[in-house]
Every structure is written in C-alpha cells, then in structure tokens.
Amino acid sequence: MASMRDHIVRLGWRFPGARVVSSRLPAALLYHGVPALERETGLSRDVFDRHVGFLKEHFELVAPEAADDPRRASDRIRVILTFDDGFRNNAEVVAPVLRSHGVPAVFFVSTRHSAPGKYLWFAYLSALRRSFRGESITFRAETIDMTPERRGASIARLRETLNALEPYPEGMYRAIEEELPALEEFTAERESLDLWAGMSADQVAGLDQDELFTVGAHTVDHPFLTKCDRDEIAKQIGEGKRWIEEATGHACDTFAYPAGDYDTRVIEECRRQGFRTAFAVAPRLRRDDLFERPRVGVYARSVEALGFKVQWGTFMRRVGLKVG
C-alpha cells in the first residue's frame, strides 16, 4: 500500500502551480555511479534511461553554465545534471545514455581510482559489504564479524576506524591497500568494472571532448575535506585539478565538495587555486552563492520521486526540510 508520503510525491510534482513557485534558477541533481546491470536496489542503465526521458519530457535540461540564468515564471523548470566521483560507468553507461538524448551534464572526478586496482575508500567498503565471502576478517589483531547478521554494523564500525587513522586520508588508504583483503579477491572483474572502478585518463578526456559534457574536480582521494589540515586540503584540491587539466589539456574551473563537506578554509582554497564555482549538497554557510551551489541527490528508481525533488527540492531546503 502506498504511504502518505508516496501520495504527496505523486501529486506534488504534477501540481500545476509548481513552476511558478519553484526556484527560478536551475535545480541541480546529483547522481553518482550508474551501473549497466540491474541489481537488487539502486539505479541501472534502464532506470537511468527512464529518468532522462522523464526529465526531458517535463523539464528543460541545461548545461552548468546556465546555473545563474533565471527563467521566467511561466517557463519550464530547468535542471542541471551532475555526476560525482568519476566511476568508470559514467563513461560507459551514463555518457552513452545522455548522448542518445542529447542532454548536457557535468562530471566531477576523483582521480585516485583512475589507476587500475585503486578504489575510493567508500567504494571499497561497499564492495566488502556486498561481495566478501567469509565469516570474519582480521584487522590489526581484531576480528571483524562478517556474518550476514553483523556485517552491516561491522562495516559501519570499520568505516569509523579507517577514517580516524592518521595521517588522514593516507593512513586510511594504506590500511585498505596493505592490511585488508584486496577487492579483486572477493569481487568478480566484471562486477568491479561495472560498480567500483574509476574512469581512466582516456575516458575522462573522451567525456571532455564531447561538447555536451564538462569535467570538474572532486579531489584526489575523496576525503572529508573538513577533517584535513590546510596542507592536505591544498594538496587534495590542487593535485586533483592538475590531473584533470593534464588529461583534458585545458583549465578546470568547476569543483564539487566530496560528500558535500566544506568550510571556509575549503572555499578559500578553491578560490586560491582558480576555481570559478563549486557545487555543494546542502549549503552550510549560506554566504557564498558561487561556492555553495545546492544540489539534490538522486538514489531512488522512481520517476515520481525525481519529479518531486526537481520541483520542490530547493524550496524544501530553504524552509529547512530534509530533501534526501
């Protein structure tokens, strides 16, 4: 049976006055990886293709350069599509779908996983949770319970432990790469390419050469930037930027904060390194529009929920409601 919330969502996005009261600026949607294959939960190529078809039918999809162009009240609501992290499926699944619809997008790429066998820390933990076959893992003389009943809680605790290792985030990656089971040992290659691997430099360059697409920076290692000291913030932002500029052959001036995590030090560093703008999720400081562009995350398959987020996401956040 559909819940009250489902009914509100279903009616809410069809409400005819929505385009009049909804924000005049484009709504930015935040996607991450979109694997080719259908799995138990989450997005897949077919679901994503339906999303793009739905968005095209009801809204106007625009390039990120239009982020500050207000529409007239009677015009269709505008939408900017953004994709974070730089998973390989962005080049192999997302880009072909977007091309087939002629839809623009911006891809924010973390560079660490561009090398084969390297994974972003949270992708590694998701893979471990999903595919590890075994009852336990020993890590630093402690036993991690990986039985089905305890696995979720164990991975959550491991996540905390890893994120507390010094120096951050290098200590965390050293532990993953040297002390925990290698992802290749418990995940089939086809699966790791579809779900966990990053884009190569050639794939990033290929996206950049398409006039529909923009490539932005998303640090090297996808750390929580507010957990980093000043030098580490500068290194994460600068090295990620330079890697992308080398891959594409031109300046990179758009940034997205990993996990939407930033503070004034992070914004300052982005400006210092020549970024023109940065995308957040929920604006935290609300004093720098150019460097705190709000976005709404898309995780569910439903197109009704998607329509609701586009029309009401910005409004709900402004009045302090959680958008998800």
**Min. distance of Cβ 32 from Zn ion in angstroms?**
7
Residues 281, 300: Cα–Cα separation, whole Å: 17
Q: What is the DSSP letter of 114?
A: G
Q: How many CB atoms lie within 10 A of CB 43?
A: 23
**Min. distance of Cβ 221 from Zn ion in angstroms?**
11
- Closer to Zn ion by CB, 173 or 308: give it: 173
**Min. distance of Cβ 8 from Zn ion in angstroms?**
29
- Closer to Zn ion by CB, 84 or 208: give it: 84
Q: Which among 136, 146, 51, 143 has a CA at the least distance from the CA of 101?
A: 51
**Min. distance of Cβ 280 from Zn ion in angstroms?**
12
Q: What angle do CA 72, 73, 75 make, to 5 degrees?
A: 65
Q: Which among 112, 140, 134 has a CA at the least distance from the CA of 124?
A: 112
- Closer to Zn ion by CB, 23 or 219: give it: 219
Residues 128, 97: Cα–Cα separation, whole Å: 29
- Closer to Zn ion by CB, 77 or 278: give it: 278
Q: Which among 66, 5, 4, 64 has a CA at the least distance from the CA of 213?
A: 64
- Closer to Zn ion by CB, 140 or 227: give it: 227
**Min. distance of Cβ 85 from Zn ion in angstroms?**
4
* Pairing state between β 254-256 and 277-279: parallel
**Min. distance of Cβ 167 from Zn ion in angstroms?**
21
- Closer to Zn ion by CB, 27 or 120: give it: 120
Residues 289, 304: Cα–Cα separation, whole Å: 29
Residues 277, 118: Cα–Cα separation, whole Å: 28
Which residues contribute to the site for Zn ion (CB under 5 A)? Answer: 84-85, 258
Chain position whose Cβ is nearest to Zn ion:
84
**Min. distance of Cβ 131 from Zn ion in angstroms?**
21
The shares of helix, strand and coil residues in the chain, as percent rounded to the nearest 5, are 50, 15, 40
- Closer to Zn ion by CB, 169 or 307: give it: 169
